[in-house]
Structure 1
Amino acid sequence: MLYTPLSETDIFPVSEQELNKRHCVSHKGKQLFVEELEDGQYQLLQLISTDPNDFMNGDYTPGTILK
């Protein structure tokens, strides 16, 4: 586990092709950083929120597949 203010991509660089698949979207009123999968679905990478209660919601667990 790394305790750092750096983003995951700063520590583990990704290719340009992978970066084109990553987007910041609004889903159910929440800002999410997602990666587009091959089948058109999105995988949640990061919840962007200042409300601590949002992070307790299991719907926003990193790795969750959004339709």
Structure 2
Amino acid sequence: MILYTPLSQEEIFPQQDEAIANRHCVVFQGKSMYVEQKEDGSYQLLQLLSTDPEDFMNDAYSPGTILS
């Protein structure tokens, strides 16, 4: 079966609750993002949620970036 969707695999087939308890949708610098809170309190960008193609060209919004 093929699913044509903008959702990530984790959103369609969720993991256990404790594995995703640290993940949140936030707005940072006017951009919507899906982030994960780390043990030290910082946030790591998992997914940029934008309809503007130029946002994806900005290295500051690439997946894995630590947000301060």
TM-score (norm. length: structure 1):
0.83
Report the 3-state secondary structure (helix = DSSP H, G, I; strand = E; otherwise coil) of the residue aligned with 2:64.
Answer: coil
**Matching of residue 60 in structure 1 with residue 55 in structure 2:** no
Aligned to 1:15: 16
* Structure 2 gap ranges (5+): none
**What amino acid maps onto 1:60 in structure 2?**
Y
Q: How many residues align?
A: 63
CA RMSD between the two structures: 1.4
SS in 1 for 2:51: coil
Hey, what's the Cα distance between the residues in 2 that align with 1:63 and 1:8?
17
> Which runs of 5 or more residues in structure 1 are unaligned?
none
Identity of aligned residues (%): 54
Runs of 4+ residues deviating >2 angstroms: none
